[in-house]
Amino acid sequence: MRDVFEVGAQDGLARIGELDVPRAGVTVETPTLMPVVNPNLVTVEPARFESEFGAELLITNSYIINNDDDLREQALDEGLHEMLGFDGAIMTDSGSFQLAEYGEIDTDTEAILEFQRDIGSDIGTPVDIPTPPDAEREQAEDELATTQDRLELAETVDVGDMLVNAPVQGSTFPDLRERAGEHAYGTDLDLFPVGAVVPLMNQYRYDDMTEAVLGAKRGLGRDAPVHLFGAGHPMMFALAAALGCDLFDSAAYAIYARDDRYLTVSGTKHLDDLHYLPCDCPVCAAHSPDDLKQADDDTRERLLAEHNLHVSFGEIRRVKQAIKSGNLMELVAARAHAHPTTLDGYRALLDHSDQLEASDSASKGAFFYTGAESARRPEVLRHHQRLDRLDVDGDDVLLTEGDSNHRYDESWNVLPPFGPYPSALATTYPLTAETPERMDRAGYEAAAEGVRRLAAANPDTEFTLAHDGWPETALATVPERVDLYNSATGE
């Protein structure tokens, strides 16, 4: 791996990064979205990507170019940047996707990488094998071995200063994804796309996608720039960034526009179902749904594609702002609570709070409790781990949601979902959390788990828990030896 990626602000596994693309002479700030350009089907002129939408990188397919006589001649003659009319950096794919779709292609890693180099690509891709989800283990292992051979072959190709992708495959086997990530990271290739997730995303299987990406991330070093291949729906950008993905590519903006589908951050709408355009972009500000429906096909498709790009880039900016402010998890929760499929993704992410916790910064913006999932966030896990180590002074300690009481040697505060904490920590993250007055069962249960951890770590201390009427399911977790006092009923 060349040293082309620098990690800045972090929030869980998410980060702001800087990717140097030497051949283009630019540094791209990540997370970033690359619009996909199909040179045969241009919906929005690439020249507009940078000035109107803020794209710094685009991705196109060198295999499609190589297989079309006119495009090939033109690309070799004038170069990709001139041909597409784009001054930023250009990534090229290799035909692997066509391989997955049609079963065979007539190129190989060496030839296509040299072609990518010759047409002036800034980031090239070898011919990896995108093993589909739910494959047999044997197929996934065999194809992964082939992909790994191709990556090793790619290392030997003279690509000049073009960066090279090292796709990470492994189908829906997280351990294979991890092994693939480790191998790819060990090559001297530069970027690490997580591959063959398009079928998962097309089926909205964001939980399985989450497992695949987190598997790959466990194998890759923290400094590896990670691309989520084919991730183009803005409803999952926050989740994907939280998984530690740095680059996204959107063909969705154009493909969806072709059949009148309108992207939003909480799902897709069909133009026929829209009475209003619920968006602030220039297209939606200037048009009504009827304007779009009555426009000719090309105009409608272009306007919808422009809207789709505006929403997508807007969401990327929101994700970046959230990473800088340390509240990406709140954005992920907001997106999760808008659609059951993103909720599945968020819940799968929370199954791996320990993996997120390891890179989370200790202090961020205020923690907002926005529903039961918040009780499983890495910050809660970290607080519970900390309870194993915090010192308790005194033999008789009150843990209370209310006021301290001098009859005890010491009083600790209790805040669901975290549980007990010494009052000296009250002004530190995450105990400055904003929580609802009407806490839910999951929050109390997590707090009870905190009480259990503290009691287990201090077997010789007597504890009394004064709670504001916790449900039985939470109290069941509190060890018998902790005295209970219900301040809501006075019992």
Residues lying near Zn ion in the complex (CB under 5 A) are found at 279, 281, 283-284, 307
The item of ligand GUN, Zn ion, none sharing an interface with residue 128, based on CB under 5 to 8 Å by kind, is ligand GUN
Residue 232 exposure: Cα atoms within 13 Å on the Cβ side: 24
What's the rounded Cα separation, in Å, for the pair 344 and 332?
A: 11
Residue 192 binds ligand GUN, judged by CB under 6 A: no
Contact assessment for residue 239 and residue 316, using Cβ atoms and an 8 Å cutoff: no
> Sheet containing 192-194: which strands, arranged edge to edge?
163-164, 123-124, 89-93, 57-61, 32-37, 247-250, 226-228, 192-194
Q: Name the minimum Å distance from CB 262 to Zn ion.
A: 8
> Does the annotation flag 272 for ligand binding?
no
Locate 400 and state its tokens. 């209370």
DSSP state of 42: -
* Beta-carbon contacts of residue 38 (< 8 Å; ≥ 6 apart): 60, 61, 64, 251, 254
Query: Which of 190-198, 275-283, 414-422, 457-465 is the region at the interface with ligand GUN (rule: CB under 6 A)?
Result: 190-198
Q: Applying CB under 6 A, does 143 fall inside the site for ligand GUN? A: no
Q: Does 167 bind ligand GUN (CB under 6 A)?
A: yes
Determine which one of 11, 93, 190, 360 is catalytic. Answer: 93
58 is an interface residue for ligand GUN by CB under 6 A: no
Instruction: Answer with the entry of Zn ion, ligand GUN, none that 338 interacts with (C-beta below 5 to 8 A by kind).
Output: none
| By the rule CB under 6 A, 98 interacts with ligand GUN | no
User: Per CB under 6 A, which region of 192-200, 333-341, 395-403, 479-487 contacts ligand GUN?
Assistant: 192-200
From the list Zn ion, ligand GUN, none, pick the one residue 96 interacts with, judged by a Cβ distance below 5 to 8 Å according to partner type: ligand GUN
The residue written with tokens 């084919």 in the block is 230
- Mutual orientation of helices 206-219 and 340-350 as an angle, nearest 10°? 30
Which residue matches tokens 């010192």?
391
Dist CA 221 CA 190 (whole Å):
12
Question: Which of Zn ion, ligand GUN, none interacts with 307 (beta carbon under 5 to 8 A by kind)?
Answer: Zn ion
Distances (CA, A) of 137 to 30, 174, 460: 34, 11, 51
Residue placing its CB nearer to Zn ion in the complex, 228 or 309? 309
Would you count residue 419 as binding ligand GUN (CB under 6 A)?
A: no
Residue 167 binds which of Zn ion, ligand GUN, none (CB < 5-8 A, kind-dependent): ligand GUN
Does 93 sit near ligand GUN (CB under 6 A)?
Answer: yes
Coil/strand/helix, residue 170: coil
To the nearest 10°, the Cα dihedral for 216, 184, 99, 121? 110
Tell me how far apart the alpha carbons of residues 490 and 55 are, in angstroms, rounded to a whole number. 61
281 carries a ligand binding annotation: yes
Which residue of 12, 17, 124, 130 would you call a contact of ligand GUN, by CB under 6 A? 130
- In angstroms, the CA 197 to CA 391 distance is 46
Give me the residue whose beta carbon is nearest to ligand GUN. 195
Q: Is 62 in the site for ligand GUN (CB under 6 A)?
A: no
Q: Would you say 286 and 295 are in contact if contact means Cβ atoms under 8 Å apart?
A: no
Q: Which does 189 bind (CB under 5 to 8 A by kind): Zn ion, ligand GUN, none?
A: none
Q: Which amino acid does the sequence have at 176?
A: L
Minimum CB separation from ligand GUN for residue 131, in Å?
9
What angle do helix axes 328-336 and 340-350 make, rounded to 10 degrees?
140
**Is the bond leading into 430 cis (omega within 30 degrees of zero)?**
yes
- Residue 97 lies near ligand GUN (rule: CB under 6 A): yes
Q: Which helix (H) or strand (E) holds 247?
A: strand 247-250
- Answer for which of 180, 189, 196, 439 binds ligand GUN (CB under 6 A) is 196
One-letter identity of residue 236: M
Residue pair 8/18 in contact by the 8 Å Cβ criterion: yes
The item of Zn ion, ligand GUN, none sharing an interface with residue 30, based on CB under 5 to 8 Å by kind, is none
The site for ligand GUN, by CB under 6 A, has a size of: 13
Give yes or no for residue 125 binding ligand GUN (CB under 6 A).
yes
Minimum distance of ligand GUN from residue 129's CB (angstroms): 8
> Looking at beta carbons only, is 9 or 281 nearer to Zn ion?
281
- H helix or E strand, kind and range, residue 249: strand 247-250
Q: Is 108 a catalytic residue?
A: no
* 201 is an interface residue for ligand GUN by CB under 6 A: no
Nearer to Zn ion, 309 or 343 (CB): 309
- Both tokens of 392, joined, read 């308790």
245 in a known ligand binding site: no
**Residue 128 touching ligand GUN (CB under 6 A):** yes
Residue numbers at the binding site for ligand GUN (CB under 6 A): 93-94, 96-97, 125, 128, 130, 167, 195-196, 198, 229-230
Binding residues for substrate: 128, 196
Annotated binding-site members: 128, 196, 279, 281, 284
Active-site residues, by number, are 93
